[in-house]
Amino acid sequence: MPYSKVTGLGYYLPETIVTNADLAAQMDTSDEWIVERTGIRERRFFKEGVDTVSNMGARAARIAMDRAGRKPEDIDMVVFATLSPDYYFPGCGVLAQRELGLRQIPCFDIRQQCGGFVYALSLADQYIRTGFAKKVLVIGSEIQSNVMEISDRGRNMAAIFGDGAGALLLEAHDEAGKGLLSTHLHSDGTHAEELMVEHIGSRRKQRITHAMIDDGSMLPYMNGKMVFQHAVRYFPEVIREALTANNLKESDIDIFVPHQANARITQAVQKELGLRDDQVVSNIHKYGNTTAGSIPIALTEAWEEGRVKEGDLVCLAAFGSGFMWASTLIRW
Ligand code: UT7
């Protein structure tokens, strides 16, 4: 049975940097509040006419393909994770396919929010393990700056989220114990409405009304405290599940790349797992929470900095809207 491994990594970030001071000029917040509660100092906002979720994802994917020495005709599947697609439909997978000049291959879109990238990796891994695909582009990309409202009523979301994209190329190989060791996925719809965008959904006869625009119900809603409490519980749980499944323990982890939700969540998980600072990748201060983009951006940056080395045990994990949570272990 083939296994999958990462052969290329890339990311793309829009140029525009928005600092906490920039936000504080437009809404009732402060650099101190945002840094203390989240660790975020700045984030990127996309430029209309230049950046789209699909083309940012494609730019990241092109870098990953180049690093792996692969051409468009080599790719035989795309899994694109996003909660902020260019169009209501079709999804971004086919748009990235077109942008990259790929063959008429299957292109998935998945919408698992902050869990999106690990879910996408899992899907790609399963298709590789069954022999259906050999080279799969896994892309996570988000534009969130235009769904949040930079205003007092939107401030708890606007302080946190940013735009960005990352991608990995997964390829089939035969060496057991190398590459993706396993993926572990969970969800619990009980709390679906605790982190959501309600409108524009299909539940109402009239999908868009002036009232929705006026009352702010088209903006994302988050019960921050509840999300926080579940995140700090489920991150360690799903990581331990992965370790146990592979007869490994916390101290075997060389580098941990969590979804960048909040620096305080990362610190709590780090403490729980007994990891040192140099084993934990955190770039949230620069980019905020880029949802499905955050793990591939953070992993690629860490790899570029030489922090991910051959033979390392890399742990990826995420928690987010759904709720959904997931982990994977990669022997690099
Ligand atoms: O990626 C997965 C999804 N998201 C997460 O994982 C996020 C999880 N949750 C969190 O990170 C935190 O709950 C937040 C950072 C969102 C909020 O931190 P908190 O310590 O839970 O604050 P809070 O929501 O309890 O708000 C405390 C106060 C409130 O004021 P009052 O009621 O005490 O007067 C808020 O209105 O802070 C206020 N507040 C703000 N103040 C300044 C909320 N947003 C802001 C803001 N600037 N941007």
Distance between Cα 289 and ligand 1 center (Å):
14
- In whole angstroms, what is the distance from residue 260 CA to residue 298 CA? 8
What pLDDT is recorded for position 182? 98
- In whole angstroms, what is the distance from residue 21 CA to residue 7 CA? 39
What pLDDT is recorded for position 87? 98
What pLDDT is recorded for position 301? 98
Residues marked active site are found at 114, 259, 289
Residue 1 has pLDDT above 90, yes or no: no
- In whole angstroms, what is the distance from residue 72 CA to residue 9 CA? 15
Per residue in 140-177, pLDDT (tens digit) is 999 999 999 999 999 999 999 999 999 999 999 999 99
Residue 286 pLDDT grade (very low, low, confident, very high; cuts 50, 70, 90): very high
CA atoms within 13 A on the CB side of 25: 5
Residue 217 has pLDDT above 90, yes or no: no
Mean pLDDT of the residues in the chain: 97
Per residue in 85-135, pLDDT (tens digit) is 999 999 999 999 999 999 999 999 999 999 999 999 999 999 999 999 999
Tell me the DSSP string of 12-63: E--SEEEEHHHHHTTSS--HHHHHHHH---EEEE--TTT--HHHHHHHHHHH
List, in order of start, the domains of the chain with CATH numbers. Answer: 3-176 (3.40.47.10), 180-331 (3.40.47.10)
Residue 17 has pLDDT above 90, yes or no: yes
Residue 190 belongs to what H/E stretch?
A: none
Q: pTM for the whole thing?
A: 0.97
Q: Best mutation site among 37, 144, 291, 294 for ligand 1, i.e. most ligand atoms within 8 A of its Cβ?
A: 37
Shortest-distance atom of ligand 1 to CA 155: 48
Tell me the DSSP string of 88-149: SSS-HHHHHHHHHT--S--EEEE--GGGHHHHHHHHHHHHHHTTS-SEEEEEEEE--TTTS-
What pLDDT is recorded for position 120? 98
- Cα dihedral 236/239/245/250 (nearest 10): -80
Distance between Cα 250 and ligand 1 center (Å):
30
Q: Are 105 and 76 in contact (CB under 8 A)?
A: yes
Q: Best mutation site among 117, 118, 262, 297 for ligand 1, i.e. most ligand atoms within 8 A of its Cβ?
A: 262
Distance between Cα 312 and ligand 1 center (Å):
36
Give the 3-state secondary structure percentages of the chain, helix then strand then coil, rounded to 5.
Answer: 40, 25, 35
Shortest-distance atom of ligand 1 to CA 262: 11
Residue 300 pLDDT grade (very low, low, confident, very high; cuts 50, 70, 90): very high
Q: Are 64 and 171 in contact (CB under 8 A)?
A: no
Ligand 1: residues whose CB is within 6 Å?
29, 33, 37-38, 114, 155-156, 159, 195, 224-225, 227-228, 231, 261-262, 265, 289, 320
End-to-end, the C-alpha distance of the chain in Å comes to 19
CB-based burial, 259-298: b 16+ in 10 Å, e otherwise:
bbbbbbbbebbbebbebeeebbbbbbebbbbbbbbbbbbb
Q: Give the angle 314-316-320 at the CA atoms, nearest 5°.
A: 170
Distance between Cα 224 and ligand 1 center (Å):
6
Q: Are 17 and 42 in contact (CB under 8 A)?
A: yes
